[in-house]
């Protein structure tokens, strides 16, 4: 089947759209994003927030200090401080790998949550945002946070 589109039809559709922004790909998903670079930066900040909260809550759940987790996971203390405190921090792949090993979660999914690999699983991405919204990194783990953490761990461990 061959579809023919006339110039008249194109002009009519352009008139209907008016001054609307038309886009395709990632920019079309968020019309507020001014550029692909802005879109990627926003995704990275979302991912880093969820990753930092995940590491913080897992550490608290196990009753570890920052120093204790750094020692047990064989990572730099300064990296751990930045992971938990700075949403713009990009952790090193080795650090994420060591944390995945220590916490016994899927390495590739944790790399995705840390913003080190391209988003492959939108369900995991939405679960990470939901998790970050439900968690408070400064208080002791509430029942709700514990449930959210357990659900997030299940999402991390699921295979694509």
CA distance 112 to 124: 9
Spell out the per-residue pLDDT of the chain, length 160, in tens. 677 888 888 788 777 776 666 655 555 555 554 555 555 455 555 557 788 888 988 898 888 999 999 999 999 999 999 998 887 888 999 999 999 999 999 898 888 888 888 767 677 767 776 666 666 665 567 777 778 888 878 877 775 5
What is the pLDDT, as a whole number, of residue 156?
78
Q: 90: which 2 tokens?
A: 């990009």
**Concatenated DSSP letters of 107-126:** HHHHHHHTTSS----HHHHH
Q: Tell me the CA end-to-end span of the chain in Å, nearest whole number.
A: 36
What secondary structure, in 3-state letters, does 75-87 show?
Answer: CCHHHHHHHHHCC
SS3 at position 8: helix
CATH architecture of the domain covering 34-157: Orthogonal Bundle (1.10)
In this structure, what are the phi and psi dihedrals at residue 57, rounded to the nearest 5 degrees? Answer: -70, -35
Other CB atoms within 10 A of residue 124 CB = 19
What is the pLDDT, as a whole number, of residue 137?
60
* Cβ 77 vs Cβ 70: under 8 Å: yes
* Cβ 134 vs Cβ 147: under 8 Å: no
For the question of whether the overall pTM of this predicted structure is more than 0.85, the answer is: no
Other CB atoms within 10 A of residue 48 CB = 22
């Amino acid at each position: 089947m061959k579809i023919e589109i006339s110039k008249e039809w194109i002009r009519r559709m352009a008139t209907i759209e008016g001054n609307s922004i038309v886009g395709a790909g990632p920019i079309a998903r968020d019309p507020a994003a001014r550029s692909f670079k802005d879109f990627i930066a926003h995704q990275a900040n979302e991912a880093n927030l969820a990753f930092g909260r995940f590491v913080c809550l897992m550490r608290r759940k196990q009753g570890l200090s920052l120093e204790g987790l750094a020692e047990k996971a064989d990572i730099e203390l300064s990296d751990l401080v930045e992971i938990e405190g700075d949403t713009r921090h990009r952790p090193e792949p080795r650090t994420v790998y060591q944390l995945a090993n220590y916490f016994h979660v899927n390495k590739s999914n944790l790399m995705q949550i840390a913003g080190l690999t391209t988003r492959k699983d939108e369900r995991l991405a939405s679960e990470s945002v939901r998790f970050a919204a439900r968690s408070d990194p400064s208080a002791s783990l509430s029942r709700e946070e514990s449930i959210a953490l357990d659900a997030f761990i299940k999402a991390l461990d699921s295979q694509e």
